[in-house]
Structure 1
Amino acid sequence: MEPGNNEDQVTIDINYNEIPEADDSITNERNSGLDAQFRFFADNGMVRTDDASNNYNAVKNSFLFGMGSLADETKIVGIHKNLNSSLTGKARLSSFKIFQDAMTRKCGGDANVRYVWYGAARDEIREILCHGFSRLGKAAGNGETYGHGLHLSDAKFSMDSVLASEMDGDGLRHVVLCRVILGRIETVPAGSQQFQPSVKDYDSGVDNLAAPSRYIVWSCSMNSHIYISHIVSFRFPFYEGSTSTSVPNSSLLRVSTIIKILSMFLDPLKSDSHLRVR
């Protein structure tokens, strides 16, 4: 198998040197004005972004682009950015950069770093912010598993992570925007029992090299090769009656909505769009 390339992907580039660092007084001041429903994000180093900022709009546009024809039915309530203000946050960012540099050298100059989405319940996201990723083999949005690893959705296919999310007590769903070091990728078929690279030349997996929609990061790399960038909180009215992690059925969605969702899985979105987060 040939390593995947970087064509037809949505890129959202962060300049690490421009990520703001705040002391505790600034962070606490920002947190005091947040709604109670976002307190658990604020308490774990995330700061709510101004909806008029370039940062907010870049993340919003990428998320809604991946929702395809359902973008108009999706209401974003808030976007939180990783401020890296704590010692742990700074250490995680520093570690990510070290592993990125190492992968760059291993792969001859290209670490294959991309933006991806991860959908989950609010409590799981809280655990990720506190302790890192731990849930392996979680089904993708269409209910299929691709080996025993962490499943992440391509930047232009956020709908997949939306279907893997769960509604919280406030009627909101949350997806995490991450930056992931993929290195050399190999195809992992649906239903595979693979749990590590098939050979040492590969670093991670993908469902389809030609048209990737899901990536698989193995357990040995999931807390060193993934950096949490933003969390998008939103309402998805046609899916509010379910906490299922599979494609919803007709008792929850209108037929027209089901058709829209299925069409996205059958014909993954492609684009040459390039979005930049500053």
Structure 2
Amino acid sequence: MIPAVTEDITSSYGSDNGVYVPVIEGSVSDDNSEDNGNGDGEGDSSISDCESVTSGSRIVEVEQTSSFGLIGMVKVDVSDKLHEIIGKKFVARLGYYGIDAEIECIHRNLFDFSEIAQARFSSFRMFANSVEKKNGGDANVKFAWFGGSKGEIVNIVVHGFGCHNIRNAGSFGHGIVLSADHSPLESVDAAIVDEDGIKHILLCRVSMGKSEVVNRGSTQCYPSSDEFQSGVDDLVSPKKIIIWSSQMNTHILPEFVVSFKTLTSIDRPVRVEKPVSPWIPIPNLLAVLSKILAPKAMEEIAQFRRSYLERKICRRDMIKGIREVTGDRLLLAVLKDFTKQRRSNRVD
């Protein structure tokens, strides 16, 4: 279930090293409200000229118009743990590519400064709950980045995503393409410097549900079947997340605006460690699966393998057949375990 804004939400942010972000805690409500603890966050808030917002254990006073120039956006204090986690992780990720970045400020979307904002949040929550039910209790909500000009970012926060934002889709179908939280580089590259030499990038919550691979050059504009709700460039370690145009304002929630300066060129060549690709030889995969799956399932997989060796089907069809038998969740777990072993063996 997707909690209301007033609840303490803890979502994975850069899960590769166990860093988590307490996304939002606290509501925007009248100081004299007698029902501050109901926690449902739906329609009980009343707006005053100056609102109290809870961020972790700290209370800050928020003017209706933030320094970003938008009603409903609050500047996160630099001493706030939220600012530290988001800022530090963002800078570290860019540093991996040799880009020195400096955080100017981070703004948070409160969502309950207007009825439209509340409706936008409620819509995201409603659809995420629907995706959750469809996928056996997992809406697969992740964080992802989207870069653009300051004006574009402002319009998205105020009005939502529009057809002109699909320009980032490039050759990955007709939808909004975001960068996975651990790989912000392409969204950073898409961000345009404003008149003060500052770039702006959105950190969004995305209800991904079950993802399918969308290959480069695809003209896809909606899920290939009712089974999927989003697209990715890679199932094991996606860098691109594709949300189709019909779902761009129900499955994406623009939650933070990170304003920053890059102190080195993005085009600067950098030597980085070559990552180990998530890959496993078929014989190794069959050996692992034989310890997990029932004999009947293994016979189905073996048949796909034989058909491939006899050139009755192509490799893609063999892999597709194996995925249908095992399910993506189990297959990804096996791939990740094998990849970790490869990294360990390479270090040793």
What band does the TM-score fall into relative to the shorter chain? 0.7 to 0.9
Deviations for 1:195-225, whole angstroms, at most 9, x for unmatched residues? 1111121111001111111100001110011
Rounded Cα–Cα distance in structure 2 between residues aligned with 1:175 and 1:15:
17
Task: Check 1:10–1:96 CA distance in 2 against 1; reply closer, same or farther (3 A cut).
Answer: farther
Rounded Cα–Cα distance in structure 2 between residues aligned with 1:173 and 1:10:
28
Rounded Cα–Cα distance in structure 2 between residues aligned with 1:80 and 1:221:
24
Rounded Cα–Cα distance in structure 2 between residues aligned with 1:66 and 1:269:
19
Q: 2:155 aligns with which of 122, 127, 136?
A: 127
Paired position in structure 2 for 1:153: 179
Any runs of at least 4 consecutive aligned residues in structure 1 with deviations exceeding 4 A, and if so which?
6-16, 31-35, 266-270
Question: 1:57 Cα shift?
Answer: 1.1
Question: 1:92 Cα shift?
Answer: 1.5
Deviations for 1:33-76, whole angstroms, at most 9, x for unmatched residues? 965xx22xxx2311101001111112112312321335771010
Aligned length: 238
Q: Larger Cα Rg: Structure 1 or Structure 2?
A: 2
Question: 1:156 Cα shift?
Answer: 0.6
Question: 1:139 Cα shift?
Answer: 3.2
Structure 1 segment 164-183 matched on structure 2, within 5 A: 164-183=190-209
**CA RMSD after TM alignment:** 3.0
| SS at 1:191 equivalent | coil
Rounded Cα–Cα distance in structure 2 between residues aligned with 1:267 and 1:174:
29
Q: 2:72 aligns with which of 45, 67, 90?
A: 45
Q: TM-score scaled to structure 2, two decimals?
A: 0.61
Rounded Cα–Cα distance in structure 2 between residues aligned with 1:97 and 1:114:
13
Q: 2:27 aligns with which of 2, 12, 20?
A: 20
Counterpart contact for 1:65–1:156, Cα < 8 Å: no
Q: TM-score scaled to structure 1, two decimals?
A: 0.76
Q: 2:231 aligns with which of 177, 193, 205?
A: 205
| SS at 2:103 equivalent | strand
Counterpart contact for 1:64–1:71, Cα < 8 Å: no
Task: Check 1:54–1:99 CA distance in 2 against 1; reply closer, same or farther (3 A cut).
Answer: same
Counterpart contact for 1:100–1:181, Cα < 8 Å: yes
| SS at 2:79 equivalent | coil
Select the structure with the greater relative contact order (CA < 8 A; seq sep ≥ 6): 1
Task: Check 1:24–1:63 CA distance in 2 against 1; reply closer, same or farther (3 A cut).
Answer: farther
Structure 2 unaligned runs (5+)? 1-13, 30-46, 53-60, 279-348
Question: 1:21 Cα shift?
Answer: 1.2
Counterpart contact for 1:211–1:268, Cα < 8 Å: no
Percent identity (aligned):
33
Question: 1:158 Cα shift?
Answer: 1.4
Task: Check 1:11–1:114 CA distance in 2 against 1; reply closer, same or farther (3 A cut).
Answer: farther
